[in-house]
Structure 1
Amino acid sequence: MKWVVAALAVTLGGCASVSELESTPETMSVISGKKPKEYADCVQQQLAESRGPLTVEPFHEGGVRLVVPQKVGDGPAAVVDINERGSGSSIKLYERLNNFPLRLGDVKTAATVCISG
């Protein structure tokens, strides 16, 4: 069953680039009390077992961009833009197939868990 869902997701979604993902509506837009690096480290730890290594890129002044790889295929599955904001961060999550109800929820779950705590 998992193979069918993965194959269907690859077939329906194709490959997307970071800029294409960021041109879609964000899946999540929140504010955290954590600094960008602290939040990025948390997301990386949460996704360490379910995804390959995340790409970390500098983003704006003091911000970080995380590019999450797809489980199957090439290209990004999600992009997390983390900007410094006062004593914390503003976070925007863009996911591939964000309107597909059967998409994997590990990225959004990791992003949500890391907001506080």
Structure 2
Amino acid sequence: MLKFVRIIAVFACVLLINHVEAQEPRPTNIPCKGCTYKLEVDDEHINYTLKKILAGRSDNLELVKIIKVTGQPLDGIKYKIQFEAVDKMTNDAKICDTIFYLKNKDIDMRTFNCAAK
């Protein structure tokens, strides 16, 4: 009887191990809600959104390049972007930082600061 119980126990362990190994792992590229993650600086969506923000401002800035960008899924996505821009009137280079929330297609601007490069 004891031998039979051991065989059943081993069989159950093998089934359990096979079941666990067959489960698909959670994708690592999907961040948890509230976790900050880095984004590619050449992401077309980020570039488009930042150019849209700059076009809506009155300080005549033109995007040169994105230096650093992070996202954070909250109620929408919170973006923090550091970028280089040039003043179209004076050609002065600037380093700018902005924080905004993007939910659906709505942009909720929180901060936008630039300093001379």
| Same fold, judged at TM 0.5 (above) | no
Higher relative contact order (CA 8 A, sep 6+): 1
Higher gyration radius (CA):
2
Higher share in strand? 2
Return the TM-score normalized by structure 1: 0.28
